[in-house]
Structure 1
Amino acid sequence: MFESQSKIKTTPLPVDLSHWPILYKDILVKGDINSSVAVCTLWTERKVVEQLIKNPKLYCVIGNLYSGQGVNAIIRNVLANPRIRTIILWGAELSLSGHALLQFMKEGVDSKRKIKNGRGEIEVEISNEAIALFRKSVEVIDFRGKTAKELITKLKQIKQKPPFAAKAQIFPPSEPKVQVLPSEQVGFRVEGKTVAQTWLKVLNEIYKYGRYKHTRYAQQNQLREVLNMVAVVSDEDMSEPYFPAYLPFSKEELIAYLPEMTSARKIPGTAYNYGHRMMEHFGVNQIDKIKELLKKRPDSKKMIALTTDVELDWSHSDTGDTPCLVMILGSVQDHKFFLTAHFRSQDMVHGWPRNAFGLRKLQEEIAQSGGYKLGKLTLITHSAHMYSDDFKMVEEILSDFYEQELGFTPAVHFTFDPKGNVVIEIDQKAKLINVTLYEPDGGPAIKSWQGKKALELVWKISDWGYISMADHAMYIGTELQRAQYCLQHNLPYHQDPAPNTADL
């Protein structure tokens, strides 16, 4: 099952480090390449830590760890440079990625190569012997919660150690086999009642249709991307959010994250926080302004909050992180407050569900301030992507939970079309098929058609966009075909399968 040691390339020490790090070379901060100490900054911006430490002789490399799956990259880079003997864990812990690394060092992996009592899975290309060697030879020091001054003092105190191996190890890359299906390429749309259900539909779209693209932020410098993903959450209740176990973070992490969107709190060392950008960064609390406008002129189209600082963010375009969330827009219809968020880019595996929950909470607070019910939440993402490190996890989540979350059964496989319900009847005397479109909530008829053939009615309905959902359109097509058969063979027709035509 696992790769044998014979497939590992070895290089005698002194190792040629001219091409090291082997992963994330373009984004890791390098110091003294001969140092035995590395600094893992979790979610704190690595450039900020570089500026805090000041002396590059105190470390070999500085890098982030955003998820448990990133432990693989740490193992690969360290085994390719066995000079590294100590990793200091310091920075903002926002996704339990630091916890995953510590659990890996403490307890290792289970029979399925998942980190015990932590998140993440060690790739099969990394041998069991290599895992054991890493855990035995490298010390991870937990400095989360310590000050920058304490970090610098610790770096000065650490004694340099000799390499733990005489040879470097470079393992075959992890290469999930994922086929890209043809698609419209832009303008994808999904909708779900909850954040979790909508997230699964988002992942399904990208997993099927995402185009491969180069990135600095994945082991194989690869991601899959669709452009202009529109994801709609209709009914999430933040007083009791639906939180299934398959989400890639805990409920406690979500509770800790929500203030990032709903308050001006700024975590030291992070490049930006959405709430801070919208409420304090520009000297104007834009969320308070929206609340004021909601009370004074609820029909206004000026309910907007921006996060982009043009001068600052463009100056960081090559050297740091800039806000993924660009702006939010609010509107009132039918005495409900709707919120739309525009993102330039999103990690749809780890970032999107957190952002969606946070935005739903912000939407709730704004709506309550004006006495409005919650309308739908819409997230529009220009670059909706998933990194290659997560391909396998996404495949497993979709396989295990996607159909289950749709909520269909063999007896009931139906979704409500917001554009209306269709009733089909036949007139044997006139030899016509009659189709009537009714309002979706059981209201009156709004449109009707007549025809002798199923196909001519399909064109009349579809060409003018009277149906919005693919499953509804396919259902109508099958029913029209049944109606035509009954009309041609003088059989009674009843919409939905009847005993005499159930197999048609």
Structure 2
Amino acid sequence: MIRNWPLLYRDVLLTGNLDSCVGVCSLWTERSIVQKIINDPSRYAVIGNLYSAQGINAMIRNIMANPRIRYLVLWGSELSLSGHSLLQLMHQGIDKNRKIINGRGEIEAEIPHEIIDEFRKNIEVIDLRGRHMDQLKTTITVLKPKPPFAIKARIFKPAKVVSRILPSEKVGFRVEGQKVAQTWLKILNLIDKYGLVKHSRYSQKNQIREVLNLTAVVTDEDPNQVYFPDYLPFSLTELKAYYAEFLTARQTPGTAYNYGHRLRKHFGIDQIQKIKDLIKTRPDSKKMLAVTADVKLDWGRANNGDTPCLTQILGSIYNHQFYLTAHFRSQDMVHGWPRNALALRQLQADMAKNSGYKLGPLTLITHSAHMYSDDFKLAKDILEKNFAKESGYTSSVHFEFDPRGNMVVEVVPMPKNKIWPADNALAVNRVLRKVKGKGRMIRATLFAPDGGTVVKVFEGRTAQETAWQITDFGYLAIPSHSMYIGMELQAAEAAIIHNQKYSQDPA
């Protein structure tokens, strides 16, 4: 019997007879369900999920470390084309960029081409997707034993990922974008820079990068014509199939839970319909709540099963629009978040339909916002190719709308009767010696967005004195806006010191 196997995901995979030549890939179906169906651990070596095509790398590594395995039986719910991608690897291989031909995912550079060929040649994949569970049990029972395809185990270097965690606030992060895809890029960028490395059972290196309590706001996604760039890690066909997860009460066989079933049927009440009714009868109500957590059932699965990542949704009529907020206890931000966000936008539209209210922003609040080590490289590649392009900035225009307003900076005559604080900070006193007797001051006027009226006026003798009035009380929301105003205040101060004219540069 082989020892210290599986190499990867040892805490997650279900092992049986390690001398067996059969491995079972259950895709998205719970491993324990497959274990009960087979009901004979001597018939298989291992049972494991394949949630994404990137997991094929771990599959290859584990099987090359145990050459006794000759069959892979594919059975279970196919929700991300991971099974399809495995079959495409077996049938067509990889291209020059190591991507699976006509499939998803790519094979790590540390796994040599000849090993990929050996894997394809010696492993027989038996596709039972969509078949009855009885056929799974029968197939495994009649498989004829095969000898190992190699004399000894082969182990390869881990995939190389170079990452450095930057200092951060650790908790309470926020991103915002007009579209789901653009907001997702900001999420990946944030976790890539600031995600704390933690242990996880669900990745090759047992690692994730995580930030806590991430709020992501999507302002303008059109549910009837979603923005769907090619860098999203799934197809439009997959996405539309996933919509049923939220929009219907169906329950996919073999899965531990479905959001739509929990929201509409599981508790014997259609919570979504109740919110729809409340929107019409009491639009000012703060009781537009739907929950997925079944406390007794889910705590019973805490150590040996899956529980809903989405815990609740809340609706509000605000500013004559229907706002929706979704709370997640945990999310895979690479593969799960964009699917969930786009599906929730559809749910938001469905809830607001026929109510007379337009859609407001969609907000997702995630307690554990993480990416798995298997996806570190994928996230970096996506960011490198798309983040700057999707920012919308050009060499001539580098402007980000600030919902708290726009600011005009001027240099104006100083009133003779103007009273200033007697006790000034050292930084202010240092500059005051240079501007003394100049007779001018800085005025920064905050206007409401979209050409609105004056909100607040700030006046100071120096850039620092003016800036503190703005920043100490949080009058601006966007960091780029604050930095732009800071540069303009500094330019205004320089104009006073050198007796020059000042005019504000465009953003």
Query: Structure 2 length as normaliser, TM-score?
Result: 0.94
In 1, the alpha carbon distance for the partners of 2:4 and 2:299 equals: 30
The reply to whether residue 431 of structure 1 matches residue 440 of structure 2 is yes
Any idea what SS the aligned residue of 1:229 has? strand
In 2, the alpha carbon distance for the partners of 1:416 and 1:170 equals: 52
2:324/2:348 contact within 8 Å kept: yes
The partner residue of 2:403 within 411, 418, 433 is 418
The aligned amino acid for 1:300 is S
2:115 corresponds to: 130
C-alpha displacement of 1:113: 1.2
Any idea what SS the aligned residue of 1:361 has? helix
1:8 corresponds to: none
1:478 corresponds to: 487
The partner residue of 2:169 within 168, 184, 196 is 184
In 2, the alpha carbon distance for the partners of 1:340 and 1:449 equals: 35
- 1:433-471 CA distances to partner (integer Å, 9 max, x unpaired)? 111100012110010011110011110000000001100
Any idea what SS the aligned residue of 1:397 has? helix
2:129 corresponds to: 144
The reply to whether residue 58 of structure 1 matches residue 43 of structure 2 is yes
In 1, the alpha carbon distance for the partners of 2:260 and 2:2 equals: 42
In 1, the alpha carbon distance for the partners of 2:36 and 2:283 equals: 47
C-alpha displacement of 1:490: 2.3
2:456 corresponds to: 447
In 2, the alpha carbon distance for the partners of 1:18 and 1:314 equals: 33
The aligned amino acid for 1:18 is R
- 1:263-301 CA distances to partner (integer Å, 9 max, x unpaired)? 101100001001100100011110011111111110100
In 1, the alpha carbon distance for the partners of 2:182 and 2:462 equals: 38
The partner residue of 1:200 within 185, 192, 216 is 185
Query: Structure 1 length as normaliser, TM-score?
Result: 0.94
In 2, the alpha carbon distance for the partners of 1:451 and 1:33 equals: 76
1:307 corresponds to: 292
1:271 corresponds to: 256
The aligned amino acid for 2:339 is R
C-alpha displacement of 1:497: 6.0
2:271/2:290 contact within 8 Å kept: yes
2:93/2:101 contact within 8 Å kept: yes
Q: How does 1:31-46 map to 2 (within 5 A)?
A: 31-46=16-31
In 1, the alpha carbon distance for the partners of 2:354 and 2:13 equals: 44
1:390 corresponds to: 375
C-alpha displacement of 1:428: 4.4
Any idea what SS the aligned residue of 1:92 has? coil
Any idea what SS the aligned residue of 1:124 has? coil
Residue ranges of structure 1 left out of the alignment (5+ in a row): 1-15, 499-504
The reply to whether residue 460 of structure 1 matches residue 469 of structure 2 is yes
1:428/1:487 contact within 8 Å kept: no
1:490 corresponds to: 499
Q: Percent identity?
A: 59
Q: How does 1:88-487 map to 2 (within 5 A)?
A: 88-428=73-413, 430-487=439-496
C-alpha displacement of 1:487: 1.9
- 1:294-331 CA distances to partner (integer Å, 9 max, x unpaired)? 11110100000000000100110110110000000001
In 2, the alpha carbon distance for the partners of 1:497 and 1:225 equals: 38
Any idea what SS the aligned residue of 2:488 has? helix
In 2, the alpha carbon distance for the partners of 1:113 and 1:416 equals: 41
The aligned amino acid for 1:481 is Q
In 2, the alpha carbon distance for the partners of 1:416 and 1:159 equals: 66
2:429 corresponds to: none
1:12 corresponds to: none
Runs ≥4 in structure 1, deviation > 4 angstroms? none
The aligned amino acid for 1:444 is T
- Which is worse superposed, 105-114 or 347-356? 105-114
1:291/1:369 contact within 8 Å kept: no
1:195/1:356 contact within 8 Å kept: yes
C-alpha displacement of 1:369: 3.7
In 1, the alpha carbon distance for the partners of 2:103 and 2:465 equals: 58
In 2, the alpha carbon distance for the partners of 1:238 and 1:422 equals: 34
C-alpha displacement of 1:117: 1.4
1:37/1:88 contact within 8 Å kept: yes
C-alpha displacement of 1:66: 0.7
C-alpha displacement of 1:163: 0.4
The reply to whether residue 86 of structure 1 matches residue 64 of structure 2 is no
Any idea what SS the aligned residue of 1:170 has? coil
- Which is worse superposed, 109-118 or 460-469? 109-118
C-alpha displacement of 1:98: 0.6
Any idea what SS the aligned residue of 1:293 has? helix
- 1:312-369 CA distances to partner (integer Å, 9 max, x unpaired)? 0011011011000000000111110000000000000000000001111101111114
Residue ranges of structure 2 left out of the alignment (5+ in a row): 415-438
In 1, the alpha carbon distance for the partners of 2:258 and 2:37 equals: 20
Any idea what SS the aligned residue of 2:331 has? strand
In 2, the alpha carbon distance for the partners of 1:320 and 1:22 equals: 22
- Which is worse superposed, 470-479 or 20-29? 20-29
RMSD between aligned residues? 1.1
C-alpha displacement of 1:488: 2.0
In 2, the alpha carbon distance for the partners of 1:122 and 1:334 equals: 49
- 1:171-223 CA distances to partner (integer Å, 9 max, x unpaired)? 12123010000000000000000000000000000000000000000001001
In 2, the alpha carbon distance for the partners of 1:126 and 1:245 equals: 27
C-alpha displacement of 1:494: 1.4
2:2/2:19 contact within 8 Å kept: no
The number of residue pairs the alignment matches comes to 483
